[in-house]
Amino acid sequence: MFLLAKTAHFVRKLVGDPPQTPKIMARPKKNLESLRAMQINIRYSVNEYLVVSDNANCLGISVADYVRRRTTGVVLPRKKVSTEDRRLFIELSRVGNNINQLTKKIHSGNHYPRQLQNELIALRKLLNTLTLKIVNHDS
């Protein structure tokens, strides 16, 4: 028996330890300060609940998160931006970028008047389209 154990040890030294399967780690334990073990039940009227729910939906968070943040003084996120407003903002950013590029061309002296005029016309059309979207979206 002793010889077998000694031989196995010698073989491991030569070849190396056999590959071990990785251990699947469990989720790390939370510390007591961050553990949400306490529960508070609140009764709302239908109107009160609708107001709280609407406020939470406008911010894009759950009602429980909204109430938790309001009662503990944690800063609430800014208003949730609709996808249409986000698209308009992106388009306006692109227009601003185009204006900066045209200004740089003019100041560098490397511009062609005809090409610059075409770019300005395209920019004006884009601005008009965005203006119509903003006006129609607000009404």
DSSP summary character for residue 22 = P
Express each pLDDT in 100-122 by its tens digit. 887 777 777 766 777 777 777 88
Mean pLDDT throughout 35-57? 89
Q: Is 61 exposed, middle or buried (0-12, 13-18, 19+ CB in 10 A)?
A: middle
**Is residue 5 scored above 60 in pLDDT?**
no
Q: Which amino acid is at 29?
A: K
Percent of the chain scoring above 70 in pLDDT: 75
Do 44 and 52 form a contact (C-beta atoms < 8 A)? Answer: yes
**Is residue 45 scored above 90 in pLDDT?**
yes
pLDDT at 107: 74
From CA 20, how far away is CA 5, in angstroms rounded?
A: 20
Q: Give the mean pLDDT of the chain.
A: 77
Cα 89 to its chain centre, rounded Å, is: 16
**Is residue 36 scored above 70 in pLDDT?**
yes
User: pLDDT grade, residue 21 (50/70/90)?
Assistant: low
Weakest-pLDDT range from 55-59, 69-73, 126-130? 126-130
pLDDT at 126: 81
**Is residue 11 scored above 60 in pLDDT?**
no
pTM of the entire predicted model: 0.41
**Is residue 67 scored above 90 in pLDDT?**
yes
